[in-house]
Amino acid sequence: MNDLDLRPHGWTLWILPRPMRHRLLIAAAQVAHEQPLSVLDCGRQFDATVVARAARGRLEVLERLQVQRAFTCFEAARLIELHASSPLPVLVLDLLATFQDENVPFEQRRHLLAGTVQAFQALNRGAGLAVSIHPPPDTPEARWMLDQLRAAASQVLAYETPAPTASQPGLF
Amino acid sequence: MREITGWLLDLYAHPERGLALWILCDDGQRRCVYRPFPVTFYAAGPSARLRALWVYLQSQPLRIHLARSERRDLFRGETVVLSAQLDDPAALPRLYRQVSQAFPDLTFYDADLHVALRHAARYGTYPMARMGLSVDDQDQVQELAVLDSRWKLDPEPPPLRLLTLEPEGDPFHAAPRRLLVSSKRGTSALALEDNPSLLAVLGLMIKEHDPDLLVTSRGDTWLFPKLLQMAEGRALPLNRDPDGPIRQKEERSYFAYNQVIYRGRQFHLAGRLHIDAENTVMYHDYGLYGVMEMARVTSLPIQTAARVSPGTGISAMQIVTALKQGTLVPLRKEQVERPKNPAELLQMDMGGMVYDPIVGLHRDVAEIDFISMYPSIMVHFNVSPETVGTRRPTAEAVPELDMIVDRTNPGLIPQTLGPLLEKRIRLKHSLLGLSKWDCRTQGYQAQAAAHKWLLVTCFGYLGYRTARFGRIEAHEAVTAYGREILLRAKEAAEDRGYRVLHLYVDGLWVQQAGHSTPEQFQPLLDDITTRTGLPIALDGVFRWVAFLPSRMDARIAVPNRYFGVFQSGEIKTRGIETRRHDTPVFVTDTQKEMLECLAREQVNEAGAVLRRRLAELRSGRVPPEQLIVRMTVSRRLEEFRAPTPTAAALRQLEAAGKSLRPGQHVKLIYTRGKVRARAWDLPEEMDPREVDVERYARLLVRAGETVLGPFGTPSAPGGAPTTRSARVQCPPNAGSAPTLGEEVQLRLW
């Protein structure tokens, strides 16, 4: 996987299979070696131990990362709205996780996602933005949400599930 | 004008008369009285949008009084809102649905609250409250006073008339033939095939008994739908209120606390209560007493309190507190977490303190627990969403964390929990002084169980995603205090010469040579209370307790997985097969029987039980019913990828026209062959030769090993004789029975 491309004017949508989620965290730690980064975790994806390992124990790298978690689509939408004028580049993890909560009427989720996409356009003019999602389930609602994000993103990177790697059998 | 005294049975919005209140009167009458009850909701947002909402509400064909006002939002402080007051409380749910769709960008408050909670906040009522009322000739309430308190331990019991309806057998397994109707006069069996006479007789029985409470088995999910279908629109006197509809709620599955939960369809009656024992949350744990207590302390109607989770109960209590204070009740929390770097996140997200146990068998061990530790912390340290992180000069630092808590102004959560916690402590103390034959014991135990679940949940609700008054930082502050307090308790124990065997969130297991009576541990309890400020109690002194290792690696200890025998002879188990819901009854019963032998310190007899039960299994003498495995359906059938036994059983049921939703339970039997499992609820009889005896034998031997392992036992499911020595740890001067406290070798096979 390439490093996160966090540049102003153009945001990237990453469609990542779940097994690849740690690679995005490692990429975030790589970015933090150079510059501060805001991470908005909308799907309980941020594993601090993975990031700490990737930072090779350098505290100053960890301190350049600012993490906030959202547990509902309302919180996710609010969090992203609050970052619309962020001076830092922003990485949004697993954006659609909370938007698939069937306890919230679809109308409301649609409204919130529309507001979120608008906030992305504002963020796009800032220090840089990358948004990750996992491939959503094959439902009309999920397809609609994916289409909205695909249409709004400047660049879409879709990854396939990696094939299991062959392992060397042990001798003993 | 008439004066009435009695108990409040039910309360709901009436389409014409405001509110209907059903009273169990002291003269034996059941009366419905009414009162006007205007309700208000609020909206906040940009002025232009509020003006648009004003215009929208004015155009509605309802009497709505609109005003601009300022109200207190728990997090934002004084907030400008549009207030809309409706004279008709029954119209609010529909109106709110409309406005929330038309104005999804506005923030609504007090819009989706149960009318019983509003009434509770305004008048102090709760289900089964003793009340005095003045009523006019139109049955309109002129005055109302609550005559007792929900915090009383022994409220005057209401004279409830009860009727139970129960189909003979599980309808999901096979169509029942008879309906059993029981009252205090006896039980009648009504044929289910004969529709007209069933409906006529049942109708007569309900009219004659006029029950206040219908307790059914599968009333929500099978019986009521069937009866209503049979009646085909004809009146069936299930409701006491002829004008009131039977309120239905559809079934649903949802994800909470890392599991899928299923709630069946519900039927709520008007003027009479309906509880489906199979569609409740805790009824099987604490019975009717517990349901009543849940309703009393939460103010939720009894039919609702029986069916909702303790989390909803806690939420209801918080709503009542907020309404009483004039604080706005949001639909959900919208506060976002403050930014943290990964190092902070690791530190704040640590959860409860655990010291792994010292694996093996130990004698004379005291288990001491903080009484409702997390709720006590919330009350003692004033942890609440609005008190954490406030920049007041009186704020204090939370241990370990870069966070402060204001301890001077009581927060909403401590105010809510304080009386409940105090009642629970009074109950626990009262129970200590009662014998198990005392007529109050059962009721107190049920009440204590209801409180326990409310208090357990209240901590989770601080961080729960859908909680109205939650905040992740408050949740983290509670665990930080918890870790500090447990460490102080450990230090107190070690300073007094105790050996600490295990720490688990709010409990300690300690041991000291020569200490074996509760009195000997009292100074330690006092010391811990002094050092921490929180109440702690002795759960009991174990004659012996065994802490178990991991199955994968015997060198690794597993927290909270143990079994032991208190000095009273009572057996306590945690984390072993008897505690698991998916263990077949046959295995559970065998393990329990073995534990009873071990409680008598008869290790060889325990081994003999295992051998006997294994022989019964292999010779086909175990009824298939005892081999049923009960699995929770975690996803829809089409979402299963691996051919698991659950997927196989669901597929078989689907083919037989029976489907189950996520969160429901599927019963299955392990079978030989490719499919490996057979659904228990298939229409055709099962051939006992299909049973995968060896798989059950493995389960049985594993359960046997769990309890015999600490005593030094073999592990050979295949039948080969083996022996293994156990790590047995006892203080050198502890008196030990011949079969305990020394290495034992047994030969089972």
Interface pTM, i.e. ipTM: 0.88
- Where on the phi/psi map is residue A121: left (φ > 0), alpha (ψ -120 to 50), or beta? alpha
- The pLDDT, as a whole number, for residue B746 is 39
The answer to whether B371 and B425 are in contact (CB under 8 A) is yes
What confidence tens digit (pLDDT) does each residue in A29-70 have? Answer: 999 999 999 999 999 999 999 999 999 989 999 999 999 999
CA distances from A89 to A46, A58, B89, B553 (A): 17, 20, 49, 45
Residue B592 sits in the same domain as residue B644: yes
What CATH code is carried by the domain that includes residue B263?
Answer: 3.30.420
Say if B411 falls within a structural domain: yes
Highest mean pLDDT among A72-86, B432-446, B478-492, B631-645: B478-492
Q: Which two tokens stand for residue B172?
A: 């999901």
Distance from CA of B702 to the nearest CA of A (A): 29
What CATH code is carried by the domain that includes residue B627?
Answer: 1.10.132.60
Among the listed residues A9, A44, A13, A47, the one whose alpha carbon sits nearest the alpha carbon of residue A116 = A13
What confidence tens digit (pLDDT) does each residue in B267-299 have? Answer: 999 999 999 999 988 888 889 999 999 999 999
Residue B227 sits in the same domain as residue B363: no
Residue B396 sits in the same domain as residue B280: no
The distance between the two most distant Cα atoms of chain A, rounded to a whole number of Å, is: 59
- The pLDDT, as a whole number, for residue B620 is 93
Residue B425 sits in the same domain as residue B516: yes
Residue B268 sits in the same domain as residue B386: no
Span B24-32, average pLDDT: 96
**Three-class secondary structure of residue B119 per DSSP:** helix
- The pLDDT, as a whole number, for residue B722 is 34
- The pLDDT, as a whole number, for residue B407 is 87
Residue B536 sits in the same domain as residue B588: no
Say if B124 falls within a structural domain: no
CB contact under 8 A, B343 and A38: no
Contacts of B349 in chain A (CB under 8 A): 48
Top-confidence residue, A94 or B428: A94
Measure CB to CB from residue A111 to each of B104, B338, B465 and give the nearest one.
B104
Restricting to A residues 37-66, those with a Cβ less than 8 Å away from any Cβ of B are: 38, 46, 48-49, 51-52, 55, 59, 62-66
Top-confidence residue, B235 or B273: B273
Contacts of B333 in chain A (CB under 8 A): 75
Measure CB to CB from residue A78 to each of B334, B342, B465 and give the nearest one.
B334
Distance from CA of A46 to the nearest CA of B (A): 9
How would you class B686 by CB atoms within 10 Å of its CB: exposed for 0-12, middle for 13-18, buried for 19 or more?
middle
- The pLDDT, as a whole number, for residue A3 is 65
- Give the pTM: 0.89
Residue B469 sits in the same domain as residue B602: no
Q: How many domains does chain B have?
A: 3
Write down the mean pLDDT value for chain B. Answer: 90
Say if B89 falls within a structural domain: no
Contacts of B345 in chain A (CB under 8 A): 46, 48, 67
Residue B458 sits in the same domain as residue B385: yes
Helix (H) or strand (E) holding B18: strand B18-25
Superfamily of domain A12-133: P-loop containing nucleotide triphosphate hydrolases (3.40.50.300)
Measure CB to CB from residue A62 to each of B335, B336, B342 and give the nearest one.
B342
Residue B456 sits in the same domain as residue B589: no
- The pLDDT, as a whole number, for residue B743 is 37
CB contact under 8 A, A66 and B337: no
Distance from CA of B338 to the nearest CA of A (A): 6
Residue B314 sits in the same domain as residue B351: no
Top-confidence residue, B237 or A7: B237
In this predicted structure, the answer to whether residue B369 has a pLDDT above a threshold of 70 is: yes
- The pLDDT, as a whole number, for residue B718 is 39
Amino acid code (one letter) for B522: Q
Measure CB to CB from residue A48 to each of B100, B335, B345 and give the nearest one.
B345
CB contact under 8 A, A68 and B105: no
Contacts of A82 in chain B (CB under 8 A): 336
As a whole number of angstroms, the distance between CA B564 and CA B452 comes to 23
**Three-class secondary structure of residue B293 per DSSP:** helix
Q: Which of B264, B299, B325 is the last residue of a domain?
A: B325
What residue numbers bound the domain in which B678 lies?
578-711
Contacts of A115 in chain B (CB under 8 A): 105
Restricting to A residues 127-156, those with a Cβ less than 8 Å away from any Cβ of B are: none
Instruction: Give the least confident one: B76-90, B240-254, B392-406.
Output: B392-406
Phi, psi dihedrals of residue B253, rounded to the nearest 5° = -120, 140
- The pLDDT, as a whole number, for residue A102 is 81
Say if B60 falls within a structural domain: no
Residue B503 sits in the same domain as residue B379: yes
Span B247-256, average pLDDT: 85
Is A71 near chain B, with CB under 8 Å? yes
Model confidence band, residue A86 (pLDDT cutoffs 50, 70, 90): confident
Q: How many CB pairs under 8 A join A and B?
A: 67
Top-confidence residue, B384 or B731: B384
Residue of chain A whose alpha carbon sits nearest to that of B252: A103
- The pLDDT, as a whole number, for residue A19 is 85
Write down the mean pLDDT value for chain A. Answer: 89
Among the listed residues B297, B536, B295, the one whose alpha carbon sits nearest the alpha carbon of residue B416 = B297
What 3 state SS string does B391-445 have? CCCCEEECCCCCCEEECCCCCHHHHHHHHHHHHHHHHHHHHHCCCCCCCCHHHHH
Q: Which of B532, B566, B600 is the last residue of a domain?
A: B566
Residue B261 sits in the same domain as residue B368: no
Say if B700 falls within a structural domain: yes
CB contact under 8 A, A66 and B339: yes
Question: Which of B337, B476, B661 to mutate against chain A (most A CBs within 10 Å)?
Answer: B337
Span B34-48, average pLDDT: 97
Measure CB to CB from residue B342 to each of A65, A68, A70 and give the nearest one.
A65
What confidence tens digit (pLDDT) does each residue in B109-151 have? Answer: 999 999 999 999 999 999 999 999 999 999 999 999 999 999 9
